[in-house]
Chain A
Amino acid sequence: MARDKGVLRLTNPWPRFAWLAGAAIVGISLALGFLVLDRYQQNDPPLGLWGAICWGLGITADLGPAREAAPTLRTPSRIAWTSSTLGQIRAGDAQHGSFIALNCTACHGEGGMSQSTFIPTLTGMDPAVIFKQLDDYRSGKRPWGVMGAIAKALSIRDSADVAAYYAARPNGLAAIAHEGSLRGESRSKESDSARHLAFMGDEQRGIPPCTACHGPHGYKIGAPPLAGQHAAYIERQLAAFAQRLRQNDINEQMRTIAMQLTPSEMHALAAFYGAPESSRVANK
């Protein structure tokens, strides 16, 4: 655009007035906005000069890291199903495991066939399950005094060996599970709701079927076989998950599901899966 002469020169009245007016407006609004008005806070004492300027610029404490210590990271388990973990489990030596298992007999029974309803049967259990639970006991992720002490005495290698030993035992949970699924068809009507939960889940409460992870529909690594396990043990574990006394399920799935179950449903499910005394005696 054709430049008019002296249009920017401050000696001319129009530019002088315009710059002065502009500077005054900006000066007043900066002073009000950054020094005066923004000092006053609704529920706190007025800010100091430096605090007011920062507040005006939008630089507040929440820009930096929070001052309070970050809460400690809580992990449900030290075990992750990586290829190295699975390799450790696969390397388990059943022969060596049989010696270690002598320490277990007192509670878990001869060959892992527990006689106490509160202590789980280990015979035929998936080695990954035993390996993970031993590590959770060792790290305190699954708190239980006796097992914690025993697991601490075992090396990772020992855990894998003893897991391999119990997994290789014949006529254990795996076999009962096979029979149990057949027997499930002929159960009484009382366990209809339990069977429905086990095979169908409950969509409305967001409960998936037990069989999706514990078999036979699907087998998720780390999920133990249920059929043939002691009913009282299963019921107790469901209650422990629901009350968050037990928190070592990696994705919180068991805590989420168990919280949704009523006590009578837990009882019915435990009874549905739990092995009757007779069958266990027969297997023995």
Chain B
Amino acid sequence: MYNSRRLTLYHCWVAFALFLPAVVLGAWQMLMRSPLPPPLQDPNAYYLSVTLHGTVMAYVVTTFFAMGFGYAVTATSLGRPIRGVWAAWIGFAICLIGTVMAAAAVLAGEASVLYTFYPPLLASAWYYSGAFLLIGGSMIWVVLMIVNMAAWKRDYPDKPVPLAMFAITATALLWAWTASGVLVELLRVLLPSAFGWTTLIDVGLARTLFSVTLHGIVYFWLMPAYIAFYTLLPQAAGGRLYSDTMGRLTFIMFLIFSLPVGMHHLFADPEHGVGFKFLQSFLTFFVVLPTLLTVYSICASLEIAGRHRGGRGLLGWIGALPWDEPMVLVAALSLVMLGGGGFGGIINMSYAMNSMIHNTSWVPAHFHLIFGGAVVIMYFAIAYEMWPQITGKLLRSKKLARRQLWLWFWGIMIVTIPWHITGLMGQPRRVAVFDYDDPLVARTGPLVIISVIGGMILLLSAILLIFILVRSHFGERTGEIPLRYALAVNPPAHVPSSLNGFALWNTILLVLMLVAYGYPIGQFALLKPHSVPAYDVTSHSDGGGAR
């Protein structure tokens, strides 16, 4: 691990230390929405809690985890120390300060605007500044990933960049592209209002800029999971990666097709024409390509491993896989959840079908299944895989880890399946209190109670995760297993230069972004400036009101 060990450890601990309280909040929110009596019945506390839960899960946990994982991958896949460790620590400090600022503002009740901000709601400047520092600080990580890959390419001009490094650099580029939306929104729209320099907010512009972030960020969350699928899973299963080229293509396609597509979050918004909504909806469908490529590639890699371990017949290889390895178990569980969430996502991004589920519980159910399920469970598996290297202690124990993973899987299933159904029944999202005496609402009661049970299972699983990580970290059993990456069946001696760097793909992406967002964002400067008074939610505004 060279010089990345402490860096990765600190990043991971920040991520997981905040993950547990965020799960507690999530479980309480499920209870609050249900017909059961919650410990604290306060709608204001509900929105405060949703804001904190969303901010921590969407920005803090994911960003810190991806950064930590990126540093580990850089050092181990390139087989040499990271360049610019001092800059990495500065980035860590900036992100941490931003996190504390944002969390403090939310806890003080000054920022109950939910993590997607929802202008013209206006929170305290501390919240927006904190978010800006957190996201802006992670750009140091982006630069370090690019610098390290470029330096390695200069030193080894004839070798292909290792797939893991190629993939983490794609992740960093994706994050830089996608975060540009929210960073510009914060700088251009929200912070000027929060500082009181202007009393107006251009909601259309703010929402459009956020849509640049809103879909790409999901793939930024997803990428560490995919990197594990391609580089860690075949190794853990005792086999080889089916195809190195397929892996590179997958990450390139994710980079390209997760960005000019965010407007499928704005189907119901009036500020854009149908042409661009259709264009971005159409482009979104191409995200299916790398996903299916991955499913195919992973199944093929696992079949290679299964047959290598003596599996015979059409499906006999499945039983021969080492299911006691957390990484192998998790890959299967994750793919199940990815399948369900993926098909749900196709409904969300389809221009016409979207209107059936717009603003219903279906939407949070969908992203909890795909992010809280398929992605986060892979974070757990990656943490279990990395823990012995970054702590120097063996994992205690694999059996307990498997139980924790199974609990998380069933928890997510029990939470999200009834949640999807209540959405189809018309239950709105972002609502703190339901009147279950109303016969129309009462129908959803039993399903919501089932979701609450799932939420409690998730809470139990999260506690178990922290218990396992702490016990291993401070345990006695020393030992170090290097992070090993799967070799491809045909290890690439040489790859086309297009698949060994991002110059071509960044250029294509720039053109696509100009086509997809040039007019929709540019129109606000020329045609449609429609600002409205900001609606202040901070306490000095006397309980909310227009400024």
Contacts and interface: CB of A to CB of B under 8 A. Distances in A.
A binds B: yes
B149 A14 contact: no
Nearest to A58: B273
A177 to B, nearest CB: 40
B143 to A, nearest CB: 11
Interface in A127-178: none
B434 interface: no
B503 A57 contact: no
Nearest to A36: B278
Contacts, number: 102
A59 B527 contact: yes
Nearest to B257: A25
B410 interface: no
Contact of B512 (A2, A22, A57): A22
Interface in A205-223: none
B499 interface: yes
A233 interface: no
Contact of A58 (B157, B271, B501): B271
Given A8-B507, A26-B512, A38 B275 contact: yes
Contact of B508 (A22, A37, A38, A63): A22
Contacts of A14: 496, 498-499, 504
A10 to B, nearest CB: 11
A18 B504 contact: yes
Interface string A22-38: 10011011101110011
Contacts of B500: 4
A6 interface: yes
A8 B503 contact: yes
Contacts of A4: 497-498, 500-501, 503
A5 interface: yes
A18 B286 CA distance: 14
B540 interface: no
A79 B479 CA distance: 92
Nearest to A19: B508
B274 A56 contact: yes
A18 B501 CA distance: 14
A7 B501 contact: yes
A124 to B, nearest CB: 45
A252 B274 CA distance: 43
A55 interface: yes
Contact of B278 (A5, A6, A32, A53): A32
State the majority secondary structure of interface residues on B. helix
Contacts of A12: 496, 498
A261 B189 CA distance: 49
Given A1-B153, A2-B154, A7 B276 contact: no
B523 interface: yes
Contacts of A56: 273-276, 278
B282 interface: yes
B279 interface: yes
B273 A57 contact: yes
A15 interface: yes
Contacts of B498: 4, 7, 12, 14-15, 18
B434 to A, nearest CB: 30
Nearest to B273: A58
Interface in B261-305: 271-279, 282-283, 286
Contacts of B275: 30, 33-34, 38, 53, 55-58
Nearest to B270: A58
B273 A59 contact: yes
Contacts of B503: 1, 3-4, 7-8
A29 B282 contact: yes
Interface residues of B, number: 38
B80 interface: no
B90 interface: no
Nearest to A33: B278
A33 B504 contact: no
Nearest to A37: B278
A57 B149 CA distance: 41
B527 A33 contact: no
Contact of A15 (B277, B283, B504, B523): B504
Among A12, A18, A25, A58, find the residue whose CB has the most chain B CB atoms closer than 10 A.
A58
B279 A33 contact: yes
Contact of A8 (B146, B272, B504): B504
Contacts of B403: none
Contact of A32 (B273, B282, B512): B282
B276 A33 contact: yes
Nearest to B153: A2
B515 interface: yes
Nearest to A22: B508
B100 interface: no
B274 A5 contact: no
Interface in B480-496: 496
A13 B499 CA distance: 12
B157 to A, nearest CB: 8
A2 B508 contact: no
B89 interface: no
A48 B172 CA distance: 45
A14 to B, nearest CB: 4
B430 interface: no
Chain B CB count within 10 A is highest, among A4, A8, A13, A56, for A4
Contacts of B157: 2
A57 B504 contact: no
Interface in B316-351: none
Contact of B150 (A1, A55, A57): A1
Given A1-B501, A63-B527, A29 B278 contact: yes
A1 B519 CA distance: 30
Contacts of B505: 18
Contacts of A13: 496
A199 B267 CA distance: 55
6 contacts: A1-B501, A13-B496, A18-B498, A33-B276, A56-B273, A57-B519
Given A1-B503, A53-B275, 7 more contacts: A1-B150, A22-B508, A32-B282, A33-B276, A33-B278, A55-B274, A57-B273
Q: Which 5 A-B pairs have the closest CB atoms?
A: A56-B275, A58-B273, A4-B497, A33-B278, A14-B498
Interface of B: 146, 149-150, 153-154, 157, 256, 271-279, 282-283, 286, 496-505, 507-508, 511-512, 515, 519, 523, 527-528
